Structure 1
C-alpha cells in the first residue's frame, strides 16, 4: 500500500517550505495567488489530507461546529440541519449533530458534554426550549453560540423565522376570505415558535375585532387528529382553522374528513411550514412557508463570521410566505358548519 503523503511531501512537490503549505491550509491572507495555486495543485496531485488532530494542536481550532437538536421526526429542524452541513462543508468545517430528548435534562447534559469533549469551535442550537439554551450558555463559556428558532437574547446571535408575522399572515388570509370564527391550534406550551405564531394569530384577530379561539396542542399528527375529533363534539364548528404546523393540519383534516366535514367547503384549514407533502394533501394544504435552507445557511455564516472576527451579536429575521392552495376558500353564506 502506498505511503500517505505528508506536509513535507507537498512542500517538496510545490517547491516551497512546509510553513508555506501550512499557511495555505489555514487560508492565510498574505500568500501570493501563484504560491497558493502551486501548493493546492501539489495537494491535489498527492491526494494529501491534513492531520486534523495535529492541526488542532497548532491552531487551537478543531474546525468542528456542534449542533444540538431535539430528537423528533419533524421536517423543519432536520431540513435546517441538512442546510447547515452543506454550508459548513463548503467553508472547510465539519458538523457534528447531537440529538437530545425534549423532556430529559439528563439527555441535555449528556449531549452538551459530548460536544464539549469534541472541542467544538462553536455550538448551534435548533428549535430548543429556553431552559436548554440556558444550559448551553452555561456550558460553552468560551465558544461561539448561535441559536436558531429560539427566543433571541443579547448574549449570542440568533437566526429566526418571523413566526409572529407568519401567524398573522395565516389569520389575515382567512379573515380576507370572510371567516370570522377562526380556531387556532397551537404548538407545544412554552415553545418559542408556537408562542409567536399564536401571538400573530391573536393580535390579528383582535385587530379585526374578532374573538380568538385557541386549543393548545403540540407538533404531532396524532394530536391534530385528537383535536379534530374534539372539534367535532362542538355544537358549532369554526368556519376556519389555523394550525401551528402542517402535521397538526393533516391530523385535523383526517378527523374532519372521516366525519364527512368537507375541506374547504365546510371548514377551511391553514397549516404552517410548507413541508414537501403539503402540496399533495387531499385537498392540497394552504400553509405558511419558511425557507429552511436560508435559516441553516445564515446560521453557519453567522457562526463563521464570529469565529473569524468576534463582534456585536445580531438577530436575523427571515420573512415567511403564504402559499395558497385548495384547503381554503371564501366562507359560504349558505349555511353554517354544524354537527
Structure 2
C-alpha cells in the first residue's frame, strides 16, 4: 500500500480510503490510485485486512449441488451484487435437502467467519442446530422457508400456479392437468396448491397430478402418460426444463402443441424462447432475487437487531407459441387427437 501511495502521489490513508470506496475520495484521486494499483500489480491481502478490521467482507451461500438453471441464475445474481458491494462470496454446496446436510453446509460457512449467509435451498425441516447457526450469523432464505431469525426473499409460488392455470382456463380449456415438482420441495407444493385452487375456484374438475423431479427426462416420461389420455388439452408444468420433456413426448405421440395440447412452464429460462414451439411460461426473476437477498443481508449485517422480514418478488406470465385458444385455426376439439406429428421440442 505504501508503494501504491508513492506512485500515486498520495498518502497511504488515501489509498486505503480509495480502495474501500470512501465517499470523501474524489474521482480524480481514486483514478490515480487505481492506475498505480494496476501498474504495480497490487493485490489486497484479505487475511491481513480481516485481522486489522475484524471483518471478512465475505458472504456465504448454501446451494444445492445441481445443474438446474434456476440455482445457477440465483447464484449469479448473488455474486454480481456482492461484488458491487465489495464482498466476496463463499459457496457451500449440499448434495441433499436433509437437515444434517444443511447443518453441515452452514457450519462450514460459519467456520470461515462469513459476515452473513444466504440459504438458497428449500428448508423443508429446521433443527435446533440450524436455528442456532442462523441466529449467530445474519441469514436470508430465497425459497420462502425460514427459521425464527431469517429474512426471506420469495416469489409467491401459489400465484405462479394461478397465473399459469388461469391463462389456460381463459383460453377455453375445460380443465388443466399438472406435472409437479418433487413432493418434498416447498416451491412444488405451493404450485400444486395454487393450481388446484384455481381449478376449484373456477368450478372445474381437478385431475390427479403427475410428479417429476425437475429434469427434462421426468417431464418426458410424464408427457408420454399425458399423450395417451385423450381428454388432455392443457398442461401446467412446474418447470421449463420438465416442460421441454413434456412437449417432446406429446410431439412423438402425435399430439400437436398447441393445436391439440397447450403447455405452460415455470421459470422463463433462456432456452424457453427457442424451443419448438416457443414456451409460454411464468417468469421468475432469479438474478433479481439474488441481488435482493444480498441487499437485505447487508442491511441485516449493518443492524443485527432488525426484525426478520419478507421481500416479495412478483412473477410474470410470458405468453408465447405453446398455448392457443381452444378451437382456433382448425384445432381439434377437446378429447380428440390430431395424429399429425410435429418437430421435436428440443431447444
Task: Give the TM-score range, shorter chain.
Answer: 0.7 to 0.9
Match of 1:298 in 2: 292
1:78 corresponds to which of 67, 72, 76: 72
Per the normalisation by structure 1, the TM-score is 0.87
- Relative to structure 1, is the Cα distance of residues 34 and 164 closer, same or farther in structure 2, using a 3 angstrom cutoff? closer
Partner-residue secondary structure (3-state), 1:120: coil
Match of 2:246 in 1: 252
Match of 2:303 in 1: 309
Match of 1:336 in 2: 334
- 1:117 aligned onto 2:85: no
TM alignment of 1:219-298, pairs within 5 A: 219-234=214-229, 236-298=230-292
Cα shift at 1:10 = 4.0
What is the CA deviation profile of residues 67-123 of structure 1, one whole-angstrom value per residue up to 9, with x for unaligned ones?
111111210111110121111111111112222112555543443332222211111
Match of 1:129 in 2: 123
Cα shift at 1:330 = 1.1
**Cα distance in 1, alignment partners of residues 218 and 129 from structure 2:** 29
Greater Cα shift, 78-87 or 96-105: 96-105
2:195 corresponds to which of 196, 201, 205: 201
How many residues align structurally?
331
What is the CA deviation profile of residues 267-325 of structure 1, one whole-angstrom value per residue up to 9, with x for unaligned ones?
11100011111112111111111111211111111112222233232211111111111
**Cα distance in 2, alignment partners of residues 25 and 280 from structure 1:** 43
**Cα distance in 1, alignment partners of residues 321 and 5 from structure 2:** 63
Conserved 8 A contact 2:177-2:232: yes
Runs of 5+ consecutive residues of structure 1 not aligned to the other structure: 1-6
- Relative to structure 1, is the Cα distance of residues 188 and 314 closer, same or farther in structure 2, using a 3 angstrom cutoff? same
Partner-residue secondary structure (3-state), 1:224: helix
- Relative to structure 1, is the Cα distance of residues 45 and 232 closer, same or farther in structure 2, using a 3 angstrom cutoff? closer
Conserved 8 A contact 1:170-1:270: yes
Cα shift at 1:243 = 0.7
**Cα distance in 1, alignment partners of residues 66 and 53 from structure 2:** 36
**Cα distance in 2, alignment partners of residues 57 and 137 from structure 1:** 28
Runs of 5+ consecutive residues of structure 2 not aligned to the other structure: 338-347
**Cα distance in 1, alignment partners of residues 128 and 198 from structure 2:** 31
- Relative to structure 1, is the Cα distance of residues 321 and 267 closer, same or farther in structure 2, using a 3 angstrom cutoff? same
Per the normalisation by structure 2, the TM-score is 0.85
